[in-house]
Every structure is written in structure tokens, then in C-alpha cells.
Amino acid sequence: MIRKKSKLKGVLITFISFVVIALGTFFGVQFFTKTGIFRIPGVVYYDGPFDEETENALKAVFTEEVDLDKDVHISTYNSFSKNELGEGEFLYKIYVPVSDFYDLTDGITAETPDELFTNESESYSLIDFDALDYKKHLLKLNGSYYLDSFESGAVFKIIKFESEKYSDEIAPLVGDTFNIEAPSKETVLTFAQTGVTALSRGMNRKLYSVGDAKYFASNIKDFLSSFDLTHTSNESSFTNYASSANICSDPRFVDTLTEIGLDIVELTGNHNQDCGDQAARNTIDTYVANNIQMVGGGKTAAEAAVPLQINQKGSGITFLAYNQSTGGATYDATPGANQYYEENAVAEINAAKERGDFVIVDIQYYECNAYASTYEDPICDRANSSAGDQIGFFRHLIDLGADVVVGTSAHQAQTYELYGNGAIYYGLGNLFFDQVWWPGTTRSLVLGHYFYKGKLLQTKLTATVFDNNMQTRLLDEETTKWWLTRLQSVRP
């Protein structure tokens, strides 16, 4: 009996010892590994610096209900370049330097990104890229234009999450919130609008001597062909009867247009029928054969009136072009320009807006004729320097819903302005022309439009000039600034 009790006691002691050892091991492991009842939850450390918006976004992610195993340290830093990101790093904000729409400052410089936030002045401000639009003037930063590079020209704000368990715990929480879609060359649509082109008269004579129509584009082709879309308003038709005395183009001049990467030709000009209807029809066939789209003209009035709809890189643009009181319009089955009718413009603008398109309207208007001088004559700089109420008419198109209105009849570039909910460029001047003896007619403006997700981010002004060799090139920066200052001085 005593032996039986002793055996039972031994079993009980063994069991208790096992339980004690097991519990000691269990709790000991928890104690030393900080798990179970000894577990210390991970802490979120906001190392910063953060703006209020970022701080609120972080606190919306890391709420009291979020239970972390490991600490996480969150910090931010700024960079002048879009660096390759490491684990736990996200590009979550892009800031760009801007100034007033009419400001002619080319750019700013800075040694560090942080000084741009602390030294903002009246000459520029830093804004979130999402707030950029064409009513602000985007500046270069340290010599780089953001919309041309996307890798520099801005301040890139990076947020960094550091944790021993980043992949398991942090990545699922923050990826959707802080991983922004940055613009790129693949998503931003670039569109160059140029002024009057008339490859005729003296240019025909020059072509006979040089023998290659690409000659005229050799100094401007790289710039213009770099855009996704390049436009010009060509006033002359191709024909074998072209001479130094008429506004007709030697057929070889199509090489000038293809050399600059021309995608869209506007046919609102008043000289496209100078060489006869058949030449105008054949010219349209030439454009089709070279995959050049047309707007504002056609073989018939019905064809001429068809708007050009552009849908590329996530942006929708309706391009309308009209001839207003300069001759050359078609009213029937003959080729010619698209005559302006108020009811058509209203219907076409409204239809474009219903589609959600951005609307550009080009107008072939009356011309200013103060060209007969060999010195700088600024008379034609002014809107309303020709017949008619140009200011009132162009502004009326903005009131109808157009976003940008462009005059494409001016042989000497005119002033420009913001008006209402849009922008007006009253005249762009001559891209390719033969009047080398009048300084005002040798220059032109190129409107470089940048579209992103259907929004016009910027219209960058670039000046061109052609010389006695009739080769168009970019105008130097100093002369460009002087010239644009002159144009701005007479804006309405």
C-alpha cells in the first residue's frame, strides 16, 4: 500500500515537473522573443519631415487598429532627380517651379531642393505637379525642363518606410496610398502648332539652285519632329507649274514637310486655289499618301468642315479650323477652305465638350498689311491691327467654349493673352516663307502644347526665324525675350 502511494507520488512529481518545465520553456521563449503575453507591439515612428497632408494620410493608414510586430520608421527626403527607388521607398509628390503666365524668365537654379521651399519669392513658386496648368508658366530648374525630361527639372519627394518586416507588414498597407503614377514620355502628348507655311515664289527659285527640299528644314527638323504631333498651315498647293512668281509649290517641297515630321496640315489659307482646283485636289491626295491629316479644308465643303479628332496617350482633342473673310473658302463641290459659320462653330464646340475633349480653334482671319519696310515695324504686333474686330471675334470663340484660339493668317506674329477660361494667340507668323527682306515676316511662334490625361499642362513658346538662305532655325534666347516683351506690351 505504501509502495503504491509512493509510485503515484513519483508520477505526480514527474508530471508536475514536466508541466513546470513546459510552462517555463513556453513563457521563457515568449519572454526572450517578446511574443505572447510578453509581446511588445511594433511602434510607428514619424521621423518626417511631413506636411499636414502627408501626416494625415499616414495616420489614416496606421490607425490604432493596426497591430504591427516590428517597429517602422517613416521619413521623407527631396531630390533633384528621379532616382531609382530602394525597398520601402515611394515617389509620392512632384513639385515644379512656376511663375506668372506672362513671365519671360527661362528658369531658376538652386543648390539643394530644400532651399526652394524656404526661399520662395515673388518670381516663382513651387507647386504640386497635379496643380500645373497652362495658365502658369513652367520654369526650368537647374537648366532642365520637366516636361521634356521627366527625370529632372522638378523636386521629387520620396517617402521611406523602414521595418524588419517591411514586405510582410508595411508594403500591403502603404503601396496603394503612396505609389503615385508619374507622368512620362509615354503618357504626355506633345503637340507643336506652327504658323503660316507657303513653300512658293522665292523658295521655288531657291529650290532650283539647291536641288533638295530638305535643305529648308535642315536647321529646324530635329526640334519640330521631336513632338508627337506637328502642325502647320500650308497656303500653297503642289504643282509642276510652280514658279518664282506664283504662290504654288514645286512637288518636291513635300520633302520639306515630311522632314519636320508633319502630322497635321491646316488648309484654311486663301492661296490654296491659286494653282487651280485640280492642283488643290492633287495636293490633298499627296497629304493622304504621306499620312498627313488635314483640318480646315478639303475637296468639298462637306469634307472641309469635318473636325479633326485626336485621341492619343489618354488625351482627347478636337481641332477645329475656319476661314474667316480672307478668300479661298469652298461653298460647294470645289476644293477650298472651311468657311466660318456661327451655327457650325457652336454645334462643333458643344459636341466636343460633350465628349470631354479639349478644344483648339484655328482661324484664318484678315491680315495686317504693314509689311512694306526693311526695319522693325511693330504695327502688326497688335491684335485688331487688320480689318475687323479680331479681339472681339477671337474672345467670342472662347466664350463659346473653345479652350485655345489661334490665328493662322498673320504673316507677322501678334500678341497673345489669357482670356476667360482660355488662351488666345492672335497670330503665329511665318514658319516657311520667302519674304526675307522684312524683319517682322521672318519670325514665327511655335506653340508647344503638353497634354496629360486630357489636361493641357503647358503651352511653351518657341521662336523661329529664317534668313536670306530661307532656312528656318530657332531664334536665339536674347532676341526671343526682346521680341516676346514687345508682343506682350500691346496685349489687349
Q: Per-residue DSSP letters for 327-373? A: S-EE-SSS-EEEB--HHHHHHHHHHHHHHT-EEEEEEE---------
Q: For residue 307, what is the DSSP state?
A: P
Pairing state between β 297-298 and 336-338: antiparallel
Q: Is the N-terminal amide bond of 49 cis, ω within 30° of 0?
A: yes
Measured CA to CA, the distance from residue 420 to residue 403 in angstroms comes to 9
pLDDT at 372: 66
**Coil, strand or helix at 104:** coil
Residue 180 confidence (pLDDT): 86
pLDDT at position 123: 82
pLDDT at 395: 98
pLDDT band at residue 48 using 50, 70 and 90 as cut-offs:
confident
SS3 264: strand
pLDDT reading at 33 higher than 60: no
Q: What is the mean pLDDT of the chain?
A: 92
CA distances from 276 to 237, 238, 377 (A): 9, 10, 34
CA atoms within 13 A on the CB side of 359: 25
pLDDT of residue 84: 87
What superfamily in CATH does domain 188-488 come from?
Metallo-dependent phosphatases (3.60.21.10)
**What span, in angstroms and rounded, lies between the C-alpha atoms of 404 and 54?**
35
Residue corresponding to grid cell 507657303: 198
Helix (H) or strand (E) run with residue 6 in it: helix 2-33
**pTM score, whole prediction:** 0.91
- DSSP E strand boundaries for 146-276: 155-162, 188-197, 229-234, 264-266
Q: What is the pLDDT of residue 38?
A: 46
pLDDT-derived band at 178, boundaries 50, 70, 90: confident
Task: Give the rounded percent of residues in the chain with a pLDDT score beyond 90.
Answer: 82
- For strands 358-364 and 404-407, give the pairing: parallel
Alpha helices in 62-135 (DSSP H): 113-118
Type of residue at 387:
A
Report the DSSP pairing between strands 229-234 and 443-452: unpaired
Are 413 and 195 within 8 A, CB to CB? yes
Rounded distance between C-alpha atoms, residue 486 and residue 445, angstroms: 13
pLDDT at 255 > cutoff 80: yes
Q: Average the pLDDT over 308-332 and give the result.
A: 95
Helix (H) or strand (E) holding 424: strand 422-425
- Overall average pLDDT of the 384-404 stretch: 96
3-state secondary structure of 310: strand
Q: Which residue reads 492633287 in cell numbers? A: 282
Query: Residue 491 and residue 341: Cα distance in Å, rounded?
Result: 27
Q: What is the pLDDT of residues 181-231, one digit of tens each?
A: 899 999 999 999 999 999 999 999 999 999 999 999 999 999 999 999 999
Q: Where do the domains of the chain lie? A: 44-178, 188-488
Going by pLDDT thresholds of 50, 70 and 90, the confidence category of residue 467 is very high
80-94, 126-140, 453-467, range with the lowest pLDDT:
80-94
pLDDT of residue 30: 45
Residue 34 pLDDT greater than 80, yes or no: no
* Dist CA 8 CA 459 (whole Å): 95
Look at residues 78, 88, 191 and name the one whose alpha carbon lies nearest to residue 460. Answer: 191
- Classified as helix, coil or strand, 139 is coil
Is the pLDDT assigned to residue 27 strictly greater than 50?
no
> Do 98 and 138 contact (CB within 8 A), yes or no?
yes
pLDDT of residue 22: 55
Confidence of residue 10 (pLDDT cuts 50, 70, 90): low
Select the highest-mean-pLDDT range: 15-19, 118-122, 387-391: 387-391
